[in-house]
């Protein structure tokens, strides 16, 4: 048996609403899209936070100020290669190739580099040609000698000054190959 309650203000609904009872309101248009937008935004924020968290955890993202590279990785400033006609060069053959010191001496003299003497080195198994210079002021002249030879490297060796020299070239297998080729 159904009970009939007296009508009150909650039973009065606007026309066009098919619902029963005053506690129910009509659904607003676009309500589903609002929920979808909020869910999408929350998903994007959570995914971004997860990616950033993983990057921090794996060490790929670091908010600390970067430290300078170790000295071995810092760029080395070099002197400009020059030809110093007042700096004599000693040429030593560090290979088994006969006459290599003479060939290098002729090449250097043709480039304007004075050669004091040419001889064989105490070793004959040198792989890389090296131009040694006695002081930092001579680095540019050593690089000029290296440029005239075309192969090798330069190195500072203060002990050369003790024997009265300034620049010493020790020819290696790389120069012998360059001359032969």
Task: Give per-10-residue mean pLDDT for the chain (181 aa).
Answer: 70 61 61 87 95 79 67 62 87 91 92 91 90 89 91 88 83 88 70
Asked if 104 and 91 count as a contact pair (C-beta separation under 8 A), the reply is yes
Instruction: Report the pLDDT value the prediction gives residue 95, as an integer from 0 to 100.
Output: 92
d(CA 143, CA 166): 13
Taking the alpha carbons of 65, 68, 73, 76 in that order, is the dihedral positive or negative? positive
Query: pTM of the prediction?
Result: 0.57
């Amino acid at each position: 048996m159904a009970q009939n309650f007296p009508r009150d203000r909650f039973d009065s609904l606007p026309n066009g609403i098919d619902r029963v009872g005053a506690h129910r309101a009509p659904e607003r248009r676009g309500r589903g899209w609002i929920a979808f937008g909020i869910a999408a935004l929350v998903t994007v924020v959570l995914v971004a936070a997860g990616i950033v968290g993983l990057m921090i955890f794996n060490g790929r993202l670091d908010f600390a100020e970067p430290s300078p590279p170790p000295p071995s990785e810092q760029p080395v400033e070099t002197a400009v290669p020059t030809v110093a006609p007042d700096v004599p060069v000693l040429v030593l053959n560090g290979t088994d190739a006969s006459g290599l010191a003479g060939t290098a001496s002729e090449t250097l003299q043709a480039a304007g580099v004075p050669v004091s003497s040419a001889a064989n080195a105490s070793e004959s198994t040198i792989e890389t040609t090296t131009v040694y210079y006695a002081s930092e002021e001579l680095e540019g002249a050593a690089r000029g000698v290296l440029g005239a030879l075309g192969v090798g490297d330069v190195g500072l060796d203060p002990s050369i000054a003790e024997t009265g020299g300034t620049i010493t070239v020790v020819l290696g297998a790389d120069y012998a190959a360059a001359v032969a080729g």
